[in-house]
Amino acid sequence: MNTDAGIRFGPIWLSPGISRLNASAFMFASFVTIGFMIFINIGHAYVLNENLGIAKDSQGAHTGAFLIVNEISLLLLMPVAGILSDRIGRRPVMVGGLLVMALGYVLYPLATSVAELVFYRALFAAGVAGATGMLGTITHDYPQEKSRGKIIGLSSLMIVLGSIFVADIFRRLPDTFQGRGFDSITAGQYTFWIAAGAVAFASLVLQLGLKGGTAAKAEDRPPLNVLLKSGLKHARNPRIALSYAAAFVGRSDLVILGSFTVLWGTFAGYEKGLDTPQAVRSGTLLFLYATAAAGLWSPFIGMIIDRFNRVTAMAIGAGLGMIGFCAVGFVDDPLEPAALPFIVLLGVGQISCFACAQALIGQEAPVNERGAVLGAFGLCGAVGIIIATGVGGWLFDTWMYAGPFIMVGLANGVIVALSLLVRLRSPGVVPVHA
């Protein structure tokens, strides 16, 4: 098949040289990668309670601390993964990252102390740096500019469906194994190990389906010293600087949603007299509701991205994030039916801010340095998560369970203000006119 002029993949125009097999493999990567990245947070609550017996009044702080360890690893390794991908290609970095994630899943439920769990979480995060970093980079390699919003919307939908599938299937497994006579620790171990096998299988599929090579020809690839400086250099572009700021907040949206929603719901389950597997399942359901709402909304935010100036879209996305996360402050019991509209708003806000930030950085990052610039984008997200989860864990334990969400909602409000400022001074172009 000749792909020199670019072909269509459904409603999406692919960049020259990208085949439908490559695009299909990318959608599969979207389906599995984020779902299994987030599941470690769901499984983490199980390990804290069953394996380590951590006191409930300190689990917010422990969860925040482990997320900080996760993000420090990403902080160090995400830029390395981006630079490496500009030199050797996206596929080997992504496949290698998934294999390291699989190893992390093998080891995580074997932890017998907090120190062991910290080490295993750092190892898992090293895999996440490669796998999710490349997922973001490929998102911008594969489409033509006029279809960037559509591919982000479709990829976001696959991420949501994958997250729901992984969370819903794997949250049931500990109960299933215990029903067959296994103790709670063994049931958790088997669940993690099945996840490890699924991630390893996904790495094989992507090795066969993703496009090999690098985005730029060998003679066009910048030298290593240029790549090392490119993330900082391109921040002089105000739209890239805005993207970095949005990553700082947008990645926090995702992690706060995936971690503290489950933890809050788990505690609410305990207050209703549920045991640990049932309470974790109740908390996971909240995450599933928010994620389902994000999936239903993702095609609409994709259309907004492709029809508006991308800075304007960023203001809209961050505004929805501000509303969604701040609104959770009105919730007393997240397991009550009356809380469902607020959980839906939470999912809509999370996907909107994240998708708009991705579109803006994809539009502005130069092709031959895209991996390095997106590595810096990921680094900003990691720094944001370190701060948000550290402060969020403290707010969760000492103020109110909705504290981390309100904090992130206010941060989204700052991005709205910055977006409006950039829109006035350096708006860029509307995609259809590019």
User: Is 267 part of any domain?
Assistant: yes
**Predicted local distance difference test score (pLDDT) of residue 200:** 96
- The residue-averaged pLDDT of 113-138 equals 87
Per the CB < 8 A criterion, the answer to whether 325 and 412 are in contact is yes
* Whether pLDDT at 123 is above 60: yes
Which residues span the domain enclosing 325? Answer: 18-212+229-427
Per the CB < 8 A criterion, the answer to whether 360 and 242 are in contact is yes
User: Is 333 part of any domain?
Assistant: yes
User: Is 283 part of any domain?
Assistant: yes
CA dihedral 374, 242, 390, 97 (to 10 degrees): -10
* Whether pLDDT at 219 is above 60: no
Of residues 421 and 145, more confidence is placed in 421
- Beta pairing, strands 8-9 & 12-13: antiparallel
Listed range (153-167, 181-195, 373-387) with the worst mean pLDDT: 373-387
* Whether pLDDT at 130 is above 60: yes
- The residue-averaged pLDDT of 350-376 equals 83
Q: How far apart are CA 352 and CA 356, in angstroms?
A: 6
**Predicted local distance difference test score (pLDDT) of residue 432:** 52
Per the CB < 8 A criterion, the answer to whether 127 and 104 are in contact is yes
Query: CATH code at 408?
Result: 1.20.1250.20
CA 310 to chain centre: 20
* pLDDT 10s digits, 368-426: 777 778 778 877 887 887 788 778 888 888 888 899 999 999 999 999 999 999 999 88
**Predicted local distance difference test score (pLDDT) of residue 74:** 74
* Whether pLDDT at 340 is above 70: yes
Per the CB < 8 A criterion, the answer to whether 383 and 72 are in contact is no
Per the CB < 8 A criterion, the answer to whether 282 and 42 are in contact is no
Q: Which of 305, 312, 353 is nearest to 140 (CA)?
A: 305
Q: Which of 325, 324, 334 is nearest to 406 (CA)?
A: 325
* Whether pLDDT at 305 is above 60: yes
User: Is 364 part of any domain?
Assistant: yes
Range with the largest mean pLDDT of 32-46, 223-237, 301-315: 301-315
* pLDDT 10s digits, 56-78: 666 666 766 777 777 788 777 87
Domains of the chain: total: 1
Tokens of 267: 């505690």
**Predicted local distance difference test score (pLDDT) of residue 426:** 86
User: Is 25 part of any domain?
Assistant: yes
Per the CB < 8 A criterion, the answer to whether 280 and 59 are in contact is no
Q: Which residues pair with 143 in a beta bridge?
A: 14
CA dihedral 55, 35, 199, 358 (to 10 degrees): -120
Q: What angle do CA 295, 301, 305 make, to 5 degrees?
A: 145
DSSP3 helix / strand / coil % (the chain, rounded to 5): 85, 0, 15
Range with the largest mean pLDDT of 18-22, 43-47, 274-278, 424-428: 18-22
Q: Which of 266, 243, 262, 265 is nearest to 254 (CA)?
A: 262
Per the CB < 8 A criterion, the answer to whether 104 and 134 are in contact is no
State percent of the chain over pLDDT 70: 91
Per the CB < 8 A criterion, the answer to whether 346 and 331 are in contact is no
Average pLDDT, rounded, for the chain? 84
Of residues 81 and 428, more confidence is placed in 81
State percent of the chain over pLDDT 90: 29
Q: Which residues pair with 9 in a beta bridge?
A: 12
**Predicted local distance difference test score (pLDDT) of residue 160:** 81
Q: How far apart are CA 239 and CA 27, in angstroms?
A: 27
**Predicted local distance difference test score (pLDDT) of residue 215:** 59
Q: What is the pTM of this model?
A: 0.72
**Predicted local distance difference test score (pLDDT) of residue 225:** 52
Whole-angstrom CA distances from 264 to 210, 275, 402 are 38, 15, 8
* Whether pLDDT at 4 is above 60: no
Q: How far apart are CA 324 and CA 269, in angstroms?
A: 23
